[in-house]
Amino acid sequence: MIRNNISGLLAAVCLIAAIPAVPSAAADSYTMQVKVDLGGERKAISPYIYGVNEYTSSNLKSVTVHNSRQGGNRYTGYNWETNWSNAGEDWKNSSDTNIGNLSDGTGYAARQFSKVCEEKDIDYKLVTLQMAGYVSADKNGTVTKDEAAPSDRWNKVEFRKNGTLSLEPDLDDGTVYMDEYVNYLVKTLGDASTDTGIQAYSLDNEPVLWNDTHPLLHADEVTNSELVSKSIELAKVVKDIDPKAEVFGPAFWGMLPCIMIGDSDTSQDADWRAVQNQYDWYVDYYLQQMADAEKESGTRLLDAFDVHYYAQDCSTDDAILQAARSLYDPDYVENSWLQPYFGNYFPFLSHLQDSIDKYYPGTKLAVSEYNIANIADEKNTGKSVVSAIAEAEALGAFALNDVYFATYWGTLADCPYAASAINLYTNYDGEGEDFGDTLVSAETEDLSKAYAFASIDGSDESEVTLVLSNKDKTQSETATISLSGSSVQYQSAVVYAITQEHSDIRIMDVQNGLSGNEVTVELPPLSVAQIVLSDEPTDKTVYEAPDITTKETVYQFSELEESVNGYPMIPLGDKDHLKEIVINATVTSDAGSSYGGGGGGLCFNKVIPEGKTKEEWASKAVQFSLGTADIVIPYDGLFTVVKDAVAGTSEEVKGISNDEYAEFQGRWWAYSEKVEDGSDINVTFNSVKLVYEYPGSASTGEEGDVNADGKFDLSDVVALYKWLHVDGTKLKDGMAADLNGDGVLNVLDLALMKKELFS
């Protein structure tokens, strides 16, 4: 399982624009018959398959989703009373303030999670409870082997408190109580039926890996007896305090723990060894025990069987393009280490559902962590169109296999294609239109080349939404879409697409006057589209993107002046049109670490956060890793401001910078494989490029002719003046006014225009 542990700052945004029309079918095209049968099987789609892990606050701001999970390795050692947590093997077994600090107040992580979800209209929230036995007792950094639990570096976890549950927990008793935590959340946020309350609780995170991820917290492999007994006891706590809340478990890390609780040859788990021949895989035994617990208690204790899924065959683009088929396609043979030994457990979702139906009917299926393109080359971690194609197929597979809840794991700020794939289902037009809530039958001739998932809203057949892909790298797909099983006569089709040229969702094609409930659309190589078929004509058009002129200003760091603090000062230039700041850095390791990097900040002294009038100090994060690469910092109005200087906490805000320069404090921290404090990491910042975007094409006419009427006169001076100072009137050829050639339109250019005309 691979995760990206470096937080991103900025969200991938779905912009609706146009891409050039696809050429008519030629020798480099292939045909695909796509059949949509409205008279076939229908099934309700859970709205909670379109979710993301909280991971970073920007994840909840980047896409339209209906649910979110607060979880991951950090939450196994999270102390809800103080907000301190332990990273385990993810980061040197460090106990620290990564999640929050004591000054943030009891239960800060969940309270903040609820707040952000409410702001984003996310109505289903999953929070992790601690079940492994211990949580961080301090924020003092690395826990050593001789400080392994039990020690004073850890507080003990008890499920029930023998006494009154308090909203002000005792911070000095060395114990945290889960019933007190759930009670605190209910009393503070409301129960599961409220908008601000927590709808579901997870029974910790990846318990079969505790001895690997948190060896100083839980040194031994978890056994069936421990897992099931703790799951039952903790689930009862939740149901006693908030009967309306749902319980998710066991949050297995993937397929292998679903097959066996430990190594079948060496595991000391007598429970499982004694019965493993009676069951197909461990999932069956776990479900059976939870079903028995319900009979004994009279209360359902497991609402959702929860598993994580990270595609194991992602070494190439070709593998990623097919990876999601392992979830649902019985004809697909995965080329991974799993297939030779455990190929009979594919397709994974179908196999899980069969077990649920047999051993604990009514249990819902959840995939609370997944990523289909997680271990390939960096360009395929959400930055390539193949990731969008894979993600969109996974979402379709979730709908097809009755998944109740799913949350993407990853930093969507760094994964614009993955973000757009989610938006393709939840907000494909940028105005809230989404895939329907009822899945209808759809199929293509060849899943290796194209998949299709179709939907309607309820029983209303007047509009059909169809997600269709083209997995071919070089050939356009000529797809003939036939709709049957309905008396509706469809009149129009609008094609919203994600292509390899753009991660944005763009209207690619619009057709009116359809006949015979059939339409032919062409998708370019490596693309995925949402095709909206309606019984009414459409007034949508293929949007023509406005002409944009890009100007770049490049400085070598050796050229930059230093601030009074001794840091380079980067001139921002025309901030109204500044789109991004690109810093080129070379990072090496003296110790020969195979991985390493660090981060710092681009600092501002005059940021006015939205809703405030006073200027504040703020920053934008800078992160670097081994090698020579560009660090792209979007200039998008989002800044990080200090929340509590003493506690060292901060928050991301929208604001306006009045700075003319940004102070570049490039290195605040570092990490590496071989040296704990990252002191072996050397970083040289080479150059900085400022990228500006202006309306209008690059100047090809007379210098100064901003209104493009063929001459340079007073009307051009008036046009530039109005653009600068009055109403931002569009300049047909704005860069014609850049008389001093600095890539910035400002009053200097206006003065030069006047001088040229009137001197």
For Cα atoms 88, 89, 95, give the angle at the middle one, nearest 5 degrees.
Answer: 30
Q: How many residues does the chain have?
A: 759
Token pair, residue 431, equals 């105005």
Return the percentage of the chain with pLDDT > 90, whole number: 73
Q: Is 196 exposed, middle or buried (0-12, 13-18, 19+ CB in 10 A)?
A: middle
Q: CB-side exposure of 289: number of CA atoms within 13 Å? A: 20
Asked whether residue 744 carries a pLDDT value surpassing 80, the answer given is no
Per-residue pLDDT band for 747 (boundaries 50, 70, 90) equals confident
User: For the chain, what is the total number of helices (H) and then of strands (E)?
Assistant: 15, 34
Give 380 or 708, the one with higher predicted confidence. 708
Q: State how far the Cα of 235 lies from the Cα of 202, in Å rounded to an integer.
A: 9
Per-residue pLDDT band for 670 (boundaries 50, 70, 90) equals very high
Per-residue pLDDT band for 380 (boundaries 50, 70, 90) equals very low
Asked whether residue 646 carries a pLDDT value surpassing 50, the answer given is yes
Q: State how far the Cα of 313 lies from the Cα of 208, in Å rounded to an integer.
A: 22
Record: fold of 438-534:
Immunoglobulin-like (2.60.40)
Q: What is the largest CA-CA distance in the chain?
A: 98
Asked whether residue 597 carries a pLDDT value surpassing 70, the answer given is yes
Give 356 or 63, the one with higher predicted confidence. 356
CB atoms within 10 A of CB 379: 12
Give 719 or 281, the one with higher predicted confidence. 281
Asked if 491 and 514 touch (Cβ cutoff 8 Å), the reply is: yes
> What is the average pLDDT across 728-754?
73
Range 697-758 has CATH code 1.10.1330.10: yes
Which entry of 54, 81, 180, 206 is annotated as an active-site residue?
A: 206
- H or E stretch covering 700: none
At residue 739, what is the residue type?
A: L
Question: Strand pairing partners for 43?
Answer: 439
DSSP string over 324-373: GGGGT-TT----SSSHHHHGGG-SHHHHHHHHHHHHSTT-EEEEEEEESS
Nearest one of 391, 386, 342 to 367, comparing CA atoms: 391
Nearest one of 79, 236, 238, 53 to 149, comparing CA atoms: 79
> What is the average pLDDT across 578-600?
94
Asked whether residue 379 carries a pLDDT value surpassing 80, the answer given is no
Provide the CATH number for the domain formed by 48-426 in this structure. 3.20.20.80
CB atoms within 10 A of CB 82: 26
For residue 206, indicate whether it is catalytic: yes
Task: Put residue 23 in one of left, alpha, beta given phi > 0 → left and psi -120 to 50 → alpha.
Answer: beta
> What is the average pLDDT across 146-150?
98
Nearest one of 74, 107, 72, 79 to 93, comparing CA atoms: 74
pLDDT of residue 733: 63
Q: Is 564 exposed, middle or buried (0-12, 13-18, 19+ CB in 10 A)?
A: exposed
Asked whether residue 6 carries a pLDDT value surpassing 70, the answer given is no
pLDDT of residue 109: 96
Q: State how far the Cα of 75 lies from the Cα of 202, in Å rounded to an integer.
A: 10
Asked if 435 and 467 touch (Cβ cutoff 8 Å), the reply is: yes
> What is the average pLDDT across 82-96?
94
Q: State how far the Cα of 214 lies from the Cα of 87, in Å rounded to an integer.
A: 8
Backbone angles phi, psi at 752, to 5 degrees: -65, -35
Asked whether residue 699 carries a pLDDT value surpassing 60, the answer given is no
Backbone angles phi, psi at 273, to 5 degrees: -60, -35
pLDDT of residue 739: 76
Same fold, 438-534 and 697-758: no
Mind listing the pLDDT tens digit for each residue in 547-565?
778 888 899 999 999 999 9
pLDDT of residue 549: 80
Token pair, residue 344, equals 């009979």
> What is the average pLDDT across 273-302?
97
Looking up tokens 């879409």 gives: 481
Listed as own residue / partner, the contacts of 648-651 with beta carbons closer than 8 Å and 24 or more positions apart are: 648/97, 648/101, 649/97, 649/100, 649/101, 649/103, 649/104, 651/57
Average of per-residue pLDDT values in the chain: 89
Q: Is 535 exposed, middle or buried (0-12, 13-18, 19+ CB in 10 A)?
A: middle
Nearest one of 261, 166, 175 to 223, comparing CA atoms: 261
Question: Strand pairing partners for 250?
Answer: 306
pLDDT of residue 22: 40
pLDDT of residue 568: 96
Mind listing the pLDDT tens digit for each residue in 22-63?
444 444 899 999 999 999 999 999 999 999 998 655 666 679
> What is the average pLDDT across 301-319?
93
pLDDT of residue 537: 97
List Cα–Cα distances, 694 to 550, 569, 676, 688, in angstroms: 6, 24, 46, 20
CB atoms within 10 A of CB 524: 22
Asked whether residue 322 carries a pLDDT value surpassing 80, the answer given is yes
> What is the average pLDDT across 58-76?
88
Non-local CB neighbours of 229 within 8 Å, separated by 6+ positions: none
Question: Domain residues of the chain, as ranges?
Answer: 48-426, 438-534, 548-694, 697-758
Beta sheet of 175-177, edge-to-edge order: 134-136, 154-158, 175-177
Q: State how far the Cα of 688 lies from the Cα of 690, in Å rounded to an integer.
A: 7
